Structure 1
Amino acid sequence: MRITLQVVVQDEGEMPATVTEIAQFERDGLDVGSLGLHLEEAKSLLGRLQRTMVAAQVAEAVARTSICPTCGTPLACKGHHRLIFRTPFGRLSIDSPRLYPCRQCMANAPTFSPVARCLPERVSPELQYLEVKFAALMSYGLTVNVLHEILPLDHVLAASSIRRQVTALGRRLEADQATDGRQQEEIAAGSRLQDIPEPSPVRAVGIDGGYLRLAGHGRRQDGWFEVIVGKSMRDQEAGHTFAYVHKLEHRPADRMSSFLLREGVQPDQPVTFLSDGGDTVRFAQLGFGDRGEYVLDWFHIAMRIQNLEQMIKGRPAHCDGPSNAVLIKALHGATCHLWHGCPYPALRRLESLGWDLDAEASPEEAKLLGKLEELIIYLDNNRHCIVNYGDRYRHGEPIASGFVESAVNQVVSKRFVKRQQMAWRPRHAHNLLQIRTAALNDQFRSNIERWYPSVAGGERHRLAA
């Protein structure tokens, strides 16, 4: 059996259609190895089809722009050069003529290239989308291998070129998000006067941090920088995430406002922010402005108290001062005050507990006193975020930020690979985080289609039935 595929190109004018044979297949018999197209045949077929379509499109565009739109005089050609354009179906070398303008209508105008004018970028949007999305989900080396395996690329992809695409699209995505945030704020400000405001679709926003190794610092202690990761908690559907490098964000309030508006939260609707109370995360929250209630994660409080209780139980029984049972009872009393949102009585109980310990009695006593002081400092720094956890728990409101800790693992750890000790530059990591969060939120494709409307597809792009 011989199967021949031809492409028929019909111009809008009266010119006859051109027929080009692009593939010919031969099959003998029927088995699982010969049924349908092979992968290499499909890749070759797509590459030839792409070259045929592009040649026809370029020829039509050049013919249309080679005539003066004012007087209809054919334009003289100054010369030709080759224009390289990369697509998911191969790299194309396109003949690009340079034309003189009409001497009668535009005598002083410079020469121009109609193909270069139509193609200001040298990479197709869909190839950019594939390169950047795969790079956001896996390493650059794996991205190169996967794209070479599935696409009919007749040129060698380089990890450096994919890295440049990530940087460019990451900056563009962040700029668009900031612009959209300002526009949505204006729209929301104009529609604030409502009789009954709709309830917020977001129950809470969790904030947490992760560390990445800084490139060029080896294993030095200061060779790290922190990434802030946030995730929204919803009732009916999964929440969305955002991330940024902490020291590169100069306007965290604008970023948070833009994120909340994309989540459907209006500027006058309060939001609950949950965090573990770390120094960097606490400072990041202060930059969000007065958008709602800030809650210290109860799980982190309970874990610190449990750790302290285990250390008290391991304290030697013959130590001077109060017994272990008395110390544990005082610790439970402080825990009860914290559970009901009373940080000051809890701090007084913990401080009095520290007065009963003698750091000079034994190394265990000194270590216990050090842990107790760490807990007191931690609670004192976050006392404005300690709420009535018992009341919130009884009313079904969130009091723990476990959902955002899984987001840190999903956004940061699985891509930036801490175990392999990958090192990053803050600016590049920041751009990659914008792409990765958009891809995990299933929003990256919509951004590409908004930037390039012709990629979105429509009736004219669909295959004939």
Structure 2
Amino acid sequence: MNFKLQLVACLSEGEEPLLEDVFTWSREDLSLASVGLTLAESKELLQRIQQQMIAQQVATHLQLQHLVGLRKKGSYPLQLKTLFGNVTVDSPRYYLPPTEAGPKTFSPLQHLFPQHVTPELLYLQTKWASLIPYQKTADLLHDVLPVSAKLSGTTIRQHLHAVVEAQERQLPQEVAPFHGVCQRDREALPCPPRPLVVGLDGGYVRHWHKKGCFEVIVGKSIPAEGAAKCFGFVQEVDAKPRRRVFEVLRSQGLQANQAVEFFTDGAAVLRSLTSYLSAESTHILDWFHLTMRLTVLHQYALGFAQVDVAGAKALQDGLTSIKWHLWHGNAERALEKIMDLDDLLATHQDDPLVAQKYSKCKPLARLLADFHTYVEQNSGFIVDYSERHHYGERVSTGFVESAVNQVLAKRMVKRQQMQWTKKGAHLLVQARTKVLNEEWEDCFRQLYPGFRSVPAEPMQMAA
């Protein structure tokens, strides 16, 4: 049994359609292995259709340019890298009428194709590269599509960087404040029913050039209605971090009078990031990071019983009291309790017998001093967590921990001993967060007008 596929090009009304043979194949005996098209046949079929279609599109475009009268200088091969293989077309160049200034020649196709990689191919490359490693993306595309054999993980990484950098140039400049609305107009706006919750935290990835790691800031915003969105950036690379966060919040319906609650771990970098974003913003210290420090101190207090049983009991009771005061938002009383515990430890620090029995006495005192500094610096952001919990409001950034795992760990850290440059990590995080937020296709529509046009929604019929 033989099959033949023909391509019919209908150029315009009144013209004879062009009919071309594209592909032929045959089948003998029917079996489970021979039923339908094979992967190799489908890839070759798509590649031939792509070549025929692009050749006819280019020829028709050049005919419509009204180039009669212009002297042709010559032509050169122009290679387009498409989703279904590389296609080479002849790109003619013409002499322009003599003028005092300006170019003397021009190429119609060079203006039509300023870059030689089609958006469809770029979209698939960058989308999958944000989800799996670059080389695995190249292997996947080689398996299922007739892409060029030269496509590699390095090429895909370069394409992703170029696409994200083009999007970064479209990001507006930072201003302060972002909502240039007077108080009267702000009061006239409808009052949002619930605040918009934003959590910020940091994750670490291995550095390519230096030994050690660097921090990538990741956040997640949860509106009263609608889907949550994540974002991220490398502080040392990003020149517009506040604008980036503001644009995410604005895409979720942020108003000038919108209450915004920022949850952070108390780091100075994160505190400064939240400034000027909203006049109605509130900064809250995350309860999870407070209790995490207290848990470490409790573990040290258990070992202190080797030196002083009564003192260890007093130390554990004091830490429990500190946690209670912090839970009810009384940072001032918690600081006094921390100083009392510091005095308790001071009587044992310089005793050599204590050092022999329990070598962690000095580290415990140092941790307690660090905890005092931490609470003191963030005392203005410690709220009554018990009251918030009673009314069903958030007190912790557990949702941000999952965002850090989703944005960073699954792609850049876990089970993959990857090393990154700060710029490379920052650009990949921009692509990954937009893919996870299901915004990547919209980003390509902004970069490439006409890319996957959104079909108009059908109008609802009247009842």
Q: TM-score range by the shorter chain?
A: 0.7 to 0.9
TM-score using structure 2 length: 0.88
Give, in whole Å, the separation in 2 of the partners of 1:143 and 1:89: 16
Kept in 2: contact 1:275–1:297 (CA 8 A): yes
The one-letter code sitting in structure 1 at the alignment partner of 2:190 is P
Cα 1:288–1:191 shift into 2, 3 Å: closer
Moved more, 137-146 or 186-195: 186-195
Give, in whole Å, the separation in 2 of the partners of 1:65 and 1:206: 55
Give, in whole Å, the separation in 2 of the partners of 1:309 and 1:146: 50
Unaligned runs of at least 5 residues, structure 1: 68-72, 461-465
- C-alpha displacement of 1:23: 0.8
State the partner residue of 1:260: 249
Residue 376 (structure 1) aligned to one of 367, 372, 393: 372
| SS of alignment partner, residue 209 of structure 2 | coil
Kept in 2: contact 1:7–1:19 (CA 8 A): yes
Give, in whole Å, the separation in 1 of the partners of 2:220 and 2:102: 58
Kept in 2: contact 1:260–1:266 (CA 8 A): no
State the partner residue of 2:145: 151
- C-alpha displacement of 1:49: 0.3
After superposition, the C-alpha distances for 1:101-159 in whole angstroms (9 at most, x for unaligned) are 367x9998622111112111111001111111111111111111011111112432022
- C-alpha displacement of 1:246: 1.1
Give, in whole Å, the separation in 2 of the partners of 1:450 and 1:191: 35
After superposition, the C-alpha distances for 1:183-241 in whole angstroms (9 at most, x for unaligned) are xx679889946745152676411100012222222xx3xx4321110001245554110
State the partner residue of 1:306: 295
Give, in whole Å, the separation in 1 of the partners of 2:49 and 2:226: 42
Kept in 1: contact 2:220–2:231 (CA 8 A): yes
| SS of alignment partner, residue 364 of structure 2 | helix
Q: Equivalences for 1:355-366 in 2 at 5 Å?
A: 355-357=343-345, 358-360=348-350, 361-362=354-355, 363-366=359-362
The one-letter code sitting in structure 1 at the alignment partner of 2:248 is F
Moved more, 49-58 or 442-451: 442-451
Moved more, 200-209 or 393-402: 200-209
- C-alpha displacement of 1:289: 7.0
Give, in whole Å, the separation in 2 of the partners of 1:106 and 1:32: 70
Q: Equivalences for 1:31-430 in 2 at 5 Å?
A: 31-67=31-67, 73-101=68-96, 110-178=104-172, 192=185, 195=188, 197-199=190-192, 203-217=196-210, 220=211, 223-234=212-223, 237-285=226-274, 292-316=281-305, 319=308, 322-357=310-345, 358-360=348-350, 361-362=354-355, 363-417=359-413, 419-430=415-426
Cα 1:381–1:153 shift into 2, 3 Å: same
Give, in whole Å, the separation in 2 of the partners of 1:143 and 1:191: 53
The one-letter code sitting in structure 2 at the alignment partner of 1:46 is L
Unaligned runs of at least 5 residues, structure 2: 457-463
Cα 1:374–1:116 shift into 2, 3 Å: same
Give, in whole Å, the separation in 1 of the partners of 2:374 and 2:44: 63
Give, in whole Å, the separation in 1 of the partners of 2:195 and 2:28: 61
- C-alpha displacement of 1:393: 0.6
- How high is the sequence identity, in percent, across the aligned residues? 34
Give, in whole Å, the separation in 2 of the partners of 1:458 and 1:318: 72
Cα 1:30–1:189 shift into 2, 3 Å: farther
After superposition, the C-alpha distances for 1:68-97 in whole angstroms (9 at most, x for unaligned) are xxxxx4433211110111000001111011
Give, in whole Å, the separation in 2 of the partners of 1:333 and 1:376: 14
Kept in 1: contact 2:125–2:137 (CA 8 A): yes
Kept in 1: contact 2:186–2:257 (CA 8 A): no
Kept in 2: contact 1:270–1:292 (CA 8 A): yes
Give, in whole Å, the separation in 2 of the partners of 1:402 and 1:299: 8
Kept in 2: contact 1:202–1:232 (CA 8 A): no
After superposition, the C-alpha distances for 1:247-284 in whole angstroms (9 at most, x for unaligned) are 12344332222221112111331211112224543454
- C-alpha displacement of 1:407: 0.7
Give, in whole Å, the separation in 1 of the partners of 2:270 and 2:88: 51
- C-alpha displacement of 1:24: 1.1
The one-letter code sitting in structure 1 at the alignment partner of 2:40 is E
Q: State the aligned residue count.
A: 447
After superposition, the C-alpha distances for 1:354-411 in whole angstroms (9 at most, x for unaligned) are 1011223332433332222222122122212111101111111100101101111111
Kept in 2: contact 1:205–1:273 (CA 8 A): yes
State the partner residue of 2:428: 432
